[in-house]
Amino acid sequence: MSENNPSIVRTLEQQRAAHAWQQIQQGKTTTKQKELKSLARSAPASIQSSGLGQTVAFWKAKGEEEHHRVLYAALEGWLKDQLHFSASLLEWIASQASSADYRYATAEALAYLSWYKRFAEAELEGE
């Protein structure tokens, strides 16, 4: 993607925003909003401090807690659309992703979660 073409960047930003908005709207009806909002707030920092793989593995391990499942599914869906893999996100990270793919996925996850976090703060109940 060329950084010199703002229409491409804007379009991708709009796609991220639309997907995140849809996922937050679904999350409003399927989970405890306060917990999802809190997790969305901490997600980017978790990825930056622990790494994408460690963070999503933690969310997957906490899968009995619906807010972890909701956020994991949202991020997995977005990354599958962008990186065109069919395995689960964890399987892709562990066995299929190249170093370059992993770095791109991390950057894309952080960009996506920026929108997800904003919409969670605006739309979900709780502090």
65-121 pLDDT per residue, tens: 999 999 999 999 999 999 999 999 999 999 999 999 999 999 999 999 999 999 999
At 1 the pLDDT is 46
Predicted local confidence at residue 31, as pLDDT: 66
Q: Whole-structure pTM over 0.85, yes or no?
A: yes
Cα separation, 17 vs 74, in Å, equals 12
Query: Kindly report the CA angle at 104 between 39 and 86, in degrees rounded to 5?
Result: 80
Instruction: Provide the pLDDT confidence category of residue 32 given band limits of 50, 70 and 90.
Output: confident
Class of the domain covering 6-123: mainly alpha
pLDDT value for 63: 78
Query: Cβ(37)–Cβ(120) under 8 Å?
Result: yes
Instruction: List pLDDT tens digits, range 37-54.
Output: 999 999 999 999 999 999
Count other C-beta atoms under 10 Å from residue 54's C-beta: 12
Q: How high is the pLDDT of residue 9?
A: 61
* Helical segments of 1-127, H only: 6-30, 33-50, 52-61, 66-83, 89-91, 99-123
More reliable by pLDDT, 126 or 9: 126
Tokens 């997957």 found at: 60
Q: What's the pLDDT tens digit per position in 53-79?
A: 999 999 999 978 999 999 999 999 999
Decide if 111 contacts 16 (C-beta within 8 A): yes
Residue with tokens 């709780």: 126
Tokens found for residue 5: 């073409």
Q: Which pLDDT score is estimated for 106?
A: 98
In the chain, where the domains are located: 6-123
